[in-house]
Every structure is written in structure tokens, then in C-alpha cells.
Amino acid sequence: MRKARARKGLSQAELAKLVGVSRQTVNAVERGDYNPTINLCIAICKQLDCTLDQLFWDE
């Protein structure tokens, strides 16, 4: 997720504002310390122009 966010030129705070969570939540998701809801996953994917598979599932 961090790489996709960087490709879009967004900071954690900017992405957090776009999806309606705190910067700390975005940081925790990126570190793997927080299991986001499916709604949050979808919101993040929309902002980062990625699919759920691309962003959240390992190959």
C-alpha cells in the first residue's frame, strides 16, 4: 500500500483525509498492525486506483 500511495504522490495524512480515517490508521494498515474493514479497503483502493487484489493480497 505504501508504494501505491507514493505513486499517487499522497502522504499518509492526505490519504487518511480522503478516506475518512486518521493518519495513524493509514500508518497501522501499511505496517500490517490493523486489519481494515472491507469498506475502508475499498475506499483506499479507489483513491489509489488499485484493485483489492493488487493492494491487499500477496501473490
Q: What is the pLDDT along the chain (59 residues), one digit of tens a residue?
A: 999 999 999 999 999 999 999 999 999 999 999 999 999 999 999 999 999 999 888 66
pLDDT at residue 56 in the model: 84
Beta carbons within 8 Å of 6's beta carbon, 6+ residues apart: none
pLDDT at residue 33 in the model: 95
CA dihedral 44, 45, 49, 54 (to 10 degrees): 130
pLDDT at residue 57 in the model: 82
**What CATH number should be reported for the domain holding residue 39?**
1.10.260.40
- Domain housing 46: 2-56
Number of domains in the chain: 1
pLDDT at residue 59 in the model: 61
